[in-house]
Structure 1
Amino acid sequence: MKTLRRYEEASGQEINKDKSFYLASNYIHDSRHNMIQRLTCYRYKSFPFKYLGCPIYSGRKKICYYTDIARNVMNKIRGWQGHVLSPGGRATIIKHVLKSQILHILAIVTPPKTILEQLDSYFSNFFLEKSVKKNKYHWSSLRNLCYPTDEGGVGFKNLTNLCKAFSTKRWWMFRVANNIWVKFMRAKNSPRSHPVSKVLESKHSAAWKEMMHIKNNIEPYILWKINDGDSSFWWDNWIGLGPLGAYINGNRKPDNMKIRDCIKDEAWDINTITSLVPNNLLNHIKHIPISDKYINDTPVWTETSNGTFTCSSAFNSISKRRDMDNMWKDVWKKNVQFKMSFFLWRAIKGPLGIKVGCHSIAYTLKEWSNFQNKNDIQRILCQVYMKKRGATVDMKWQWHKICSYMEDFRPRITSTPVIWNKSPEGLLKINTDGSSNITKRNAGIGGVAALYDLNWYKQNNVTNCILEMDSLMTVNMMKGVYKPP
């Protein structure tokens, strides 16, 4: 308490005792509770509790600790359920609103598999315009949606792979950092042995178990650049092929052996290395450079070009990938609306949900990609679909038929009548919209006309005037509602 009071005096911040509490064992006596409460003025609270939305508990991971996370997401979805949203709007909400709501929790802990499956079900039902409470037939599984667009997916990210990516980040920090959390985890879980050689036991905590499950998949991507040789000779990946301990059978692999023990006069001690590793690895080790001995060994993340760890690169290394197809690059383009690209995606995948036979679109896109001088296939197919709305598009697509559709297609031109109201008596009214004269081949731009009118008013001292414009932003700036840039 003396330390807390010194902190309050030094920082000028006061600890809120109403929001503070203390944790203690369930087996201490009531008299000890009374003494702690009298000295600290804090109330007693037991596990589990929440801090910044993250459940803090002791013991096994239970589903009941994470039900509030799924409930908050479901309530958020219900708020958007009644809105009329396009597929692109729903995809944007899922990517940037709903998943960002739980992203900080996934970065710290990994929810149970049941909670992750429940969240995936909520996202899938919302994207497919289904009720949150009712599970209906899905024309496409979420597994197919959670692929990059150039691999045949929609661009969603799988929550399970996201959790694995954050576990990878924790393992990376545990291996390369030296902060308080790393010192605590090493002293608690691997005080005498190397963490790579550590065997998982049932008594370990849930956080350590998650890191141990991911270490075998991630260690090959962590390469140690040799400088002072302080890395482990057997268990750090400094040869680029994984730890040496995985290639050697037997128990003659002490964890405290360093790489510097095999370096002599800033070069490899071949005699020592020959007695430890087989000949096929010896030739590989001879070509590994040794850098500055006054610098610590540097960890390099091999999945990025600069060697720096990123969660996106970890996510890509964990996720199952498909072969990239140029057809999907033609389907998903930035200048095409999401709903039209998504329509083509559904047509190619098959589960279109309506009686329109567009399965030959996939064949057309693949054939179109073979032409070097190709046009925008999305524009052609979308215009053809809009022209033939209500009819079945089930013919076999051929080159001459596509050309005929292109030649016969005429865009629908619409016009909107504009009424010019007479100005009140005593007021001068001038319209500043852009205009054109086909016979004289003259055209005026709205902004130039507006500037000319204002200068004309000023030169002729006209004050009683009405200025009509089609730019609401300019009108608000003239009225003082907006500040001009």
Structure 2
Amino acid sequence: MESLRKYEKASGQLVNNDKSYYYIHHKVSARVNSKIKRHTDMRNGSFTFTYLGCPVFYGRRKLIYYKDLIKKVMKSILSWQNRLLSFGGRYVLVNHVLQTMPVYLLSATNPPSGVIKQLHKIFTKFFWSNTVGVKSKHWVAWDKLCLPKDEGGIGLRSLTDISNALFAKLWWNFRYGRSLWSSYMLNKYFEPQIFWYLRNGTSRFWYENWTRLGALYYITPDAAREKEIEHIKDNIKVPDGEEDDEPCWMLETSGKFSVKSAWEFLRHRESQQTSYRFMWEKGLPIKISFFMWRVWKGRISTDDILKRMMINIPSRCWCCIPTDGIGLHQMIMAWWTAETKSKLQPIYRAMPAVIIWSLWKRRKYIKHGGSVTFYRLKQQHLSRYKPKFYYAKVLWRMPPSERLKCNTDGSSRGTPGISSYGFYIRDSSGDLVQLETDSLVLQNILQDSWITPWELRNQIEEIKQDMRTVQVQSNHIFREGNKLPDFLANQTLDHAEIKVHEFKLMPSEGRIILNMDK
């Protein structure tokens, strides 16, 4: 109470005892309880209660403590169930509304698995039947839906994986504090995903990953130790800064922790397939892409599939004619992998889904009445794939007579793969060097507009140091105006190192590009 009185005196605010409660364990004696009540002049509150949206309790976690969250989700679903929603509409509501409701609670508490299972059950019923109280066929299990699209899912996320990623964020915050709790979390979970960027050597020498190969404490064989020493000599810069060493999250290019990268690291995963990526072509309505996904997995109500589900139907399909030859998957893949111009590829990848969707609608209309026309199909789905052309005038410009200009470019065969770089310097008549590159990423990093990737910090700092030593101006140029370095970089990949000091020694194609720049 003395602390409350000091707060009232310092802030000028008074504590309203009629609206205040104190909470104690149920095993506390009545004598102690009455003494606290007499001194505080407040009422005794009972567990469980909600504070800032989170249940506060002691003892085992129970499902009933999280009933408010489940009621909130159900209330939203009940407001939607009378609307005629397609699978695309339900997908958007589940992905952007229902799955975001528990995020705040999951970031602060760890609910029992039964809560997450019940939420998944509610999401599943709404997605497949547009309501919760009606039974319907769940064509695909929820855990299969909660996979990235290129792994066979539809891009939803499991609340279990989200919860683990949010707890990883708590661990990252603890990691900065160097508390006892942070040390416990450090040794149990994510330490291999942290790299310490050396500044003045404040990181723990044996127990923290400042070599990018793991903590030195765990390296015991002599051969491995020699390998580690060579790696440190070649790649680690001696700390000479004034600031403390900085932890870098190795799963993000920027080195900053993100829940998205933690989720990607912790989530359940399946093998990626190119076919899954093609069926979610940009520009297609979600309902068509989702239907294509169901067709590919054999999860639609055709007669052959219903027979496998032991559902009695007529012995012969009333609208299908048996055919021999190429299968449906082979036919679709032929469309998707057809060799054509890059601007026509989106059309080739969208056409199978649009055609199959139209055939399915025609089948439904023949069976239940109605009609579908090619004009409607064209207007609704194909008109958005009209190629758009952009143009801009790009020229290489000579520097002033008192300057040098160095144009650079890089080339790589695969990621990762063999790489090379090319550059040339023109009009050498002064001390001022002008660097021009077609990498907008490098340009923004050198100008400190973008965060330096943690893997390139040493190299970028060396470049910046050189730029401070000599007066340098860095500019960006489009690739169309930077053809000669691109040509030299690709020539290096094919013919190893190339050095040209005279115009006549330049390959003929390079001389043509050089003259065209003039």
TM-score if structure 1 supplies the norm length?
Answer: 0.63
User: Matches of 1:372 and 1:341 in 2, distance apart?
Assistant: 22
**Structure 1 contact 48–56 (Cα < 8 Å) conserved:** yes
Change (3 A) 1:90 1:14: farther
1:411 is aligned to 375
The worse-fitting range, judged by mean Cα deviation, of 376-385 and 84-93 is 376-385
In structure 1, runs of 5+ residues without a counterpart are 199-211, 250-273, 393-408, 414-485
User: Counterparts in 2 of 1:25-40, with a 5 A limit?
Assistant: 25-40=25-40
Change (3 A) 1:61 1:236: farther
Compare the two structures and name the one with the higher helix fraction.
2
**Structure 1 contact 326–369 (Cα < 8 Å) conserved:** no
**Structure 2 contact 336–348 (Cα < 8 Å) conserved:** no
Residue 94 (structure 1) shift = 1.0
- Corresponding position: 1:77 with 2:77: yes
- Corresponding position: 1:352 with 2:300: yes
- Corresponding position: 1:283 with 2:226: no
Q: Pick from 219, 233, 247 the counterpart of residue 205 of structure 2.
A: 233
Change (3 A) 1:284 1:59: farther
User: Matches of 1:131 and 1:197 in 2, distance apart?
Assistant: 44
Q: Pick from 325, 338, 345 the counterpart of residue 371 of structure 1.
A: 338
* Greater C-alpha Rg: 1
Q: Pick from 265, 277, 281 the counterpart of residue 317 of structure 1.
A: 265
The worse-fitting range, judged by mean Cα deviation, of 67-76 and 225-234 is 67-76
**Structure 1 contact 227–297 (Cα < 8 Å) conserved:** yes
Percent of aligned positions with the same letter in both sequences? 33
User: Matches of 2:291 and 2:216 in 1, distance apart?
Assistant: 52
**Structure 2 contact 171–185 (Cα < 8 Å) conserved:** no
Residue 103 (structure 1) shift = 0.8
User: Counterparts in 2 of 1:443-458, with a 5 A limit?
Assistant: none
- Corresponding position: 1:132 with 2:132: yes
User: Matches of 1:380 and 1:279 in 2, distance apart?
Assistant: 57
Residue 110 (structure 1) shift = 1.9
**Structure 1 contact 237–243 (Cα < 8 Å) conserved:** yes
1:437 is aligned to none
Q: Deviations over 1:298-354 (max 9, x none)?
A: 100011111011101111111233444443333223422111111111101111124
1:304 is aligned to 252
Residue identity in the other structure for 1:307:
G
Residue 165 (structure 1) shift = 0.2
Residue 244 (structure 1) shift = 2.8
Residue 89 (structure 1) shift = 1.4
User: Matches of 1:17 and 1:97 in 2, distance apart?
Assistant: 39
**Structure 2 contact 292–357 (Cα < 8 Å) conserved:** no
TM-score if structure 2 supplies the norm length?
Answer: 0.59
User: Matches of 1:225 and 1:16 in 2, distance apart?
Assistant: 51
User: Matches of 2:195 and 2:93 in 1, distance apart?
Assistant: 38
User: Matches of 1:54 and 1:240 in 2, distance apart?
Assistant: 39
Residue identity in the other structure for 1:239:
T
**Structure 1 contact 145–154 (Cα < 8 Å) conserved:** yes
2:419 is aligned to none
In structure 2, runs of 5+ residues without a counterpart are 306-319, 321-325, 365-372, 378-518
User: Matches of 2:230 and 2:185 in 1, distance apart?
Assistant: 25
Residue identity in the other structure for 1:371:
A
Change (3 A) 1:136 1:339: closer
Q: Pick from 195, 214, 232 the counterpart of residue 184 of structure 2.
A: 195
User: Matches of 2:3 and 2:186 in 1, distance apart?
Assistant: 40
Instruction: Name the SS for the 1:309 alignment partner.
Output: coil
Q: Deviations over 1:411-441 (max 9, x none)?
A: 159xxxxxxxxxxxxxxxxxxxxxxxxxxxx
Q: Deviations over 1:439-471 (max 9, x none)?
A: xxxxxxxxxxxxxxxxxxxxxxxxxxxxxxxxx
User: Counterparts in 2 of 1:161-310, with a 5 A limit?
Assistant: 161-176=161-176, 178=177, 183=179, 186=180, 189=181, 194-195=183-184, 212=188, 215=189, 218-248=190-220, 278-287=225-234, 288-310=236-258
Q: Deviations over 1:124-154 (max 9, x none)?
A: 1110116524665421011111112233211
Instruction: Name the SS for the 2:184 alignment partner.
Output: coil
Aligned residues between the structures: 345
- Corresponding position: 1:53 with 2:42: no
User: Matches of 2:127 and 2:202 in 1, distance apart?
Assistant: 52
